[in-house]
Every structure is written in structure tokens, then in C-alpha cells.
């Protein structure tokens, strides 16, 4: 049996569902039951009746699964799959920031620890942030954390002046404006697809700014045949699979010699570790009850609003 077959057999025997984010390596995406962006993964976790959820993604995604599906055993192939953006927002410092602004409602990006979600009014993902922020009355005072780039972008498209936490993703911050300009010159017909975690100077060069799912959908709907992709390069797997006749060019980071931009945390999810994790039912991700009880409310609020808005 191949490793893929062993994984599928174990998943069936153990009533386990394997979820994978678009940034994981292609072979992990191919063996998963479901591949999606952060919003779709949370929606899937909220609906599943599987006894085991294996989250091939990063730690906050596994925590979100556990919070939404406390009866399931939640596993992650490598427990050190962290997220620099979530780490840029320590829960105690964020709680202090929130306490200093008692008149503000708190909106947190899903890329946060469960403890940050516990002091949040509503969670958002890049797939619904604009719509959820717009659902608040125009004069409501808002805090947005932790991604300053996504926060700036949402402020610019909604006309809000949300107070922003000063956090960022080390992968999306690394994209090079200069290299993107050169690539645009070399591929004048290509559309530029940018994730909103990128810096403003990069977003300015975009034809489309959106979540991984939105960028993927755009490549399928657009008549364009060439795309410059300014997000983690794992997404190219699904883009290329859905449209094999189109060309997808990963935009490199600033680092000399780098041809594409990878999140080293997402890349910790290997087929071998996925197999071992299903076999041993470890490492398991848990969330303390007192945090989960608080964190579930803003996550459910996000899911409810997304449902109402058809997202």
C-alpha cells in the first residue's frame, strides 16, 4: 500500500476527516477529504460528525476546530506548526489593549490564539472581513487585530478608522514590490492576485485582492490566461489543477535567490507525519474549557453572519 492509501484506510477505519489548507504541499492536499481557506475549514469543522479531525494547517486552525467541535479528537501532524501572525499578538498584551479601549468592539482575524479570540466580539477571516466590518454601524468604534495590513486594507475599502494592532505575517510581508514590477513588465497580460496580508505597496499593484478561496475562484472565472500570484505558493497546486491550460507564476519574496514564497509552518505538514498522526492519534490539540467557552461565541458569530450573507 502507498502512504496515501494507508492514510485513507486509517481515516476510514477511525471515522476521521482530514482537512487541509491551500498552503500545504500538493500531496497533502490530494490526500485530504477537504481543502479550503480558513473560513471554509472552520465551516467544515462546525458541520462534521467525524470522531477525529486532522488539521493539516497551523495550530490556530486546529484550535478553532476543537472549539467548534469539542466532542472530536483534534490532531495536527506537527504541533510546532505555528503562525507568525498569531504569534505577533500575545493574548495578555492584546487583552490589555482591549481593556484600554472599553468603548470599542473587538474584531479579530482568525489567525489568533484561542485566548485572543476569548477577548473578541467577532472573529473574521480574509474571506469575510470586509462584509463583517461593514455589518457594524458606521459610528461604532472598532479594534481590529492582529494583522495591520489586512486592517489597513479593510479600513480603505470600508471608509472605517478601526484601531489596528501592529502585527503581520512574515511570509506576506516579504513580497518584493521591485520583483513584482519586473514580473509585471515581463508578463504585461497577466493579472496580479494579492492576498490582503501583503503590504499596501504590493496591494496597490493588484488586479484582485482577496482570500485564498477568492483568488482561486477568480482564476477559474477570469478570461485571462496568465496570473502573477502574490500569496503563499501552495495555492498554485489547486489553481493549476482547476485550470491546467492557464499559467500561474509565483511572485518571489525579497530574499535573494528565492523563487517562491513558502510558509515554513504550513510545510511542516508532510504525508509521513500525517500518517503517523492518524496512526498514533497524536499530537492532539486541546483548548482549556474556560477559554473555549469564551472563544466559541465570536467564532459562532462569524459563522452566523457569514451564513446570513451567503459567504
CA angle, 129 then 310 then 158, to 5° = 30
Question: Whole-number minimum distance, CB 164 to ligand 13P, in Å?
Answer: 17
Q: Which does 143 bind (CB under 5 to 8 A by kind): ligand SF4, ligand 13P, none?
A: none
Task: Determine which helix (DSSP H) or strand (DSSP E) holds 55, and give its type and residue range.
Answer: strand 52-56
Exactly one of 169, 236, 271, 296 binds ligand SF4 (CB under 6 A); that residue is 169
When asked if residue 22 is in the footprint of ligand SF4 (CB under 6 A), the reply is no
Which residues bind to ligand 13P, rule: CB under 6 A? 37-38, 111, 125-127, 169, 197, 211-212
Q: Which of 16, 83, 239, 285 binds ligand SF4 (CB under 6 A)?
A: 83
DSSP per-residue letters across 213-281: HHHHHHHHH-S-SEEEEES-GGGHHHHHHH-TTSEEEEPPBSSTT--S---TTGGG--HHHHHHHHHHT
User: Stretches 68-76, 82-90, 122-130, 137-145: which one binds ligand SF4 (CB under 6 A)?
Assistant: 82-90
Between CA 66 and CA 295 the distance in angstroms is 11
User: Cα separation of 217 and 239, whole Å?
Assistant: 9
**Residue 281 to residue 67: CA distance in whole angstroms:** 18
**How many positions of this chain bind ligand SF4 (CB under 6 A)?**
12
Among candidates 234, 235, 186, which has minimal Cα distance to 208?
A: 235
**Stretch 250-289: interaction string toward ligand SF4, x if CB under 6 A:** -------------x-xx-----------------------
- DSSP classification of residue 190: P
Q: Which of 11, 171, 274, 299 binds ligand SF4 (CB under 6 A)?
A: 171
Q: Single out the segment in contact with ligand SF4 by CB under 6 A; choices: 78-86, 152-160, 272-280, 289-297.
A: 78-86
CB 169 to ligand SF4: min, Å: 3
Contact 29, 64 (CB under 8 A): no
Q: What's phi and psi for 55, nearest 5 deg?
A: -100, 105
Q: Give the three-class secondary structure for 19.
A: strand
Interface residue with ligand SF4, options 40, 88, 232, 283 (CB under 6 A): 232
Is the CB of 11 or the CB of 77 nearer to ligand SF4? 77
> Where does this chain bind ligand SF4 (CB under 6 A)?
58, 83-85, 111, 169, 171-172, 232, 263, 265-266
Amino acid at each position: 500500500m502507498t502512504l496515501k492509501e494507508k492514510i485513507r484506510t486509517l481515516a476510514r477505519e477511525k471515522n476521521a476527516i482530514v482537512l487541509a489548507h491551500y498552503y500545504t504541499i500538493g500531496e497533502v492536499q490530494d490526500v485530504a477529504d477537504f481543502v479550503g481557506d480558513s473560513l471554509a475549514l472552520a465551516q467544515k469543522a462546525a458541520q462534521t460528525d467525524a470522531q477525529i479531525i486532522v488539521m493539516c494547517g497551523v495550530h490556530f486552525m486546529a484550535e478553532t476546530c476543537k472549539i467548534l467541535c469539542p466532542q472530536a479528537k483534534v490532531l495536527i501532524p506537527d504541533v510546532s506548526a505555528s503562525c507568525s501572525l498569531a504569534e505577533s499578538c500575545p493574548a495578555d498584551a492584546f487583552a490589555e489593549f482591549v481593556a484600554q479601549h472599553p468603548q470599542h468592539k473587538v474584531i479579530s482575524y482568525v489567525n489568533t490564539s484561542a485566548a485572543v479570540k476569548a477577548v473578541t466580539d467577532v472573529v473574521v477571516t480574509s474571506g469575510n472581513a470586509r462584509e463583517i466590518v461593514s455589518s457594524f454601524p458606521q459610528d461604532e468604534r472598532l479594534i481590529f487585530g492582529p494583522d495591520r495590513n489586512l486592517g489597513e486594507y479593510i479600513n480603505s475599502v470600508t471608509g472605517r478608522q478601526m484601531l489596528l494592532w501592529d502585527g503581520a505575517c512574515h511570509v506576506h510581508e516579504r513580497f518584493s514590490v521591485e520583483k513584482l514590477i519586473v514580473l509585471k513588465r515581463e508578463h504585461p497580460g497577466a493579472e496580479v492576485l494579492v492576498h490582503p496580508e501583503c503590504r499596501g505597496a504590493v496591494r496597490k499593484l493588484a488586479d484582485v485582492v482577496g482570500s485564498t478561496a477568492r483568488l482561486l475562484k477568480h482564476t477559474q472565472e477570469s478570461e485571462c490566461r496568465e496570473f502573477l500570484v502574490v500569496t503563499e505558493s501552495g495555492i498554485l497546486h489547486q489553481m493549476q489543477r482547476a485550470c491546467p491550460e492557464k499559467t500561474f507564476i509565483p511572485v518571489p519574496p525579497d530574499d535573494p535567490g528565492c523563487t517562491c514564497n513558502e510558509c515554513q509552518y504550513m510545510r511542516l505538514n508532510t504525508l509521513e507525519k500525517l500518517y503517523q498522526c492518524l496512526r498514533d492519534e497524536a499530537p492532539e490539540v486541546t483548548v482549556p474549557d474556560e477559554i473555549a467557552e469564551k472563544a466559541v461565541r465570536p467564532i459562532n458569530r462569524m459563522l452566523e453572519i457569514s451564513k446570513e450573507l451567503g459567504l
